Amino acid sequence: MARQTIGHNVHVKCATISRTRLPQPIDLLQALRYDYLRRLQLFLGLPFLCATSVEHPDSRAVTAMITQEEEKAILARAYVPEHSIELMTRISGGEPFLFEDYLCCKTQSGVIVVGYPLEHEFELDRFERALGRIIKAFQPINLSLIAPQAPMSFQAAFVERNTDSYYSLDLPAAVPTGTLGRMVRKAKETGTVEQATLLKEANRELAREFVERVAPAPRIRELLFRMWDYVGRAKDSLVLNAWSRDRKLAAFFVVDLAPKNFATYVIGCHSKTNYLPGASDLLVSEMIRISDNLGKRFIHLGIGVNAGIRLFKEKWGGIPTRPYELCELVLRKPSFWDAVVGGIGRS
C-alpha cells in the first residue's frame, strides 16, 4: 500500500498500480511482427488493447486493460474528472490503459492522454518524454491531451488548444445566504428535485431546446448528447432533474460519483420554455447535499468556459484550483489502410 497526497490536501492509502515492463532491445523482425498482428486484429474487429494483444516493441510500462483493483486504486488517487475511468471511456468510446503514470484511452483513430499524473507532481519535461513514447508506441493519427501544461515541442501538430482552469468547491460548503439563499428557498417551494439513473425523453427534449437556444461550442454539444452513452451504463452516474409544479422539466444535471474523494458536475442545462426561477441553483444545492452525505471532500465544477459560467460557479464558492489545457493534435495523415479499417469499424 502506498500513501499518496492528491489535490485539496487529501491523503489516501491505496494499492500500488501494477505495470507491465516490456523487454528491450527489440529487433526489426519483432517490430514487423507487431505491425502485422496489430493490423490483423483491427481488420478482424478485435480490441487492440486486450490481454492477448502483442505489445508494441517501443512501449514502456503499459498496462493493457485495467483490472478492478487498478481501477479502485486510480479512483482513490483521482483528483481531476478525467481520472474517472467509466466517465472517460463511455464518453470517448475508447479502451482505458495506463502508460507509466498516466491514464489514457485508445480510440479508433487515436489516443487520449490525461496528463495529470497519478503518483507524482506534474513535471513538464517528464510529461513531454512520456508523450513522445506514447506517440512512438501507438502511432496515432490523432492525439488528445488534457494536462496542466502542454509541451510546446508538439506545437506544430496542434489543431486546437484551449486554456482554462478547473473550478472546485470544498465540502462541507457554507449554507447559501442572502439573494442566493432566497433563490434556493423559492425554487424549493415551486419545484422538486428528482434523483434518477436514466436520461429520458424529457431530458432529450430539454437538451435539444438548450442547444437550439444557446448554440454551444461543438465540443459542449457533443458532450451533452454523449450523456446518453454514459448515464445508466456507468454505475456511479447520477441525474438530478428539477421539475416544476406542473411536472415540466426545468433543468437537469449529470453528476459523476465514482472518484473516492470528490463528485463531478459533468454537464447540465436549463429550459426557458419550462422556466423555473432558481432551478440550476436548486440542483447545485442538491448536488452539495448528496456529495456531503457520501463523504466527498470536494466537488469538481468543471472548467470556467466563459464569464457567465465562471460567475455562476463563483457565487456558490467555487474557485479555480488547477490549470487546464486541452490540445488536439493531428500527427499524421490517415493511410489507405487506416481508411479501410475505419470504414469497417463504422459499417
Q: 60-106, pLDDT tens digit by residue? A: 455 557 999 999 999 999 999 999 999 999 999 999 999 999 999 99
The per-residue pLDDT of the chain, averaged, comes to: 85
C-alpha R_g of the chain = 22
- pLDDT tens digits along 170-183: 999 999 999 999 99
Grid cell at residue 316: 456558490
Determine the pLDDT at residue 55: 44
Could you give the domains of the chain?
A: 2-164+325-346 (no CATH), 172-296 (3.40.630.30)
Determine the pLDDT at residue 108: 87
Share of the chain above pLDDT 70, in %: 77
pTM of the predicted structure, to 2 decimals? 0.80
- pLDDT tens digits along 253-312: 999 999 999 999 999 999 999 999 999 999 999 999 999 999 999 999 999 999 999 999
Quick one: 63 exposed, middle or buried, by C-beta within 10 A (0-12, 13-18, 19+)?
Answer: middle
- pLDDT tens digits along 12-61: 334 445 443 333 333 445 445 545 555 555 555 444 433 333 344 444 45
Nearest of 276, 210, 273, 199 to residue 242 by alpha carbon: 276
Quick one: 196 exposed, middle or buried, by C-beta within 10 A (0-12, 13-18, 19+)?
Answer: middle
Determine the pLDDT at residue 269: 97
- pLDDT tens digits along 208-265: 999 999 999 999 999 999 999 999 999 999 999 999 999 999 999 999 999 999 999 9
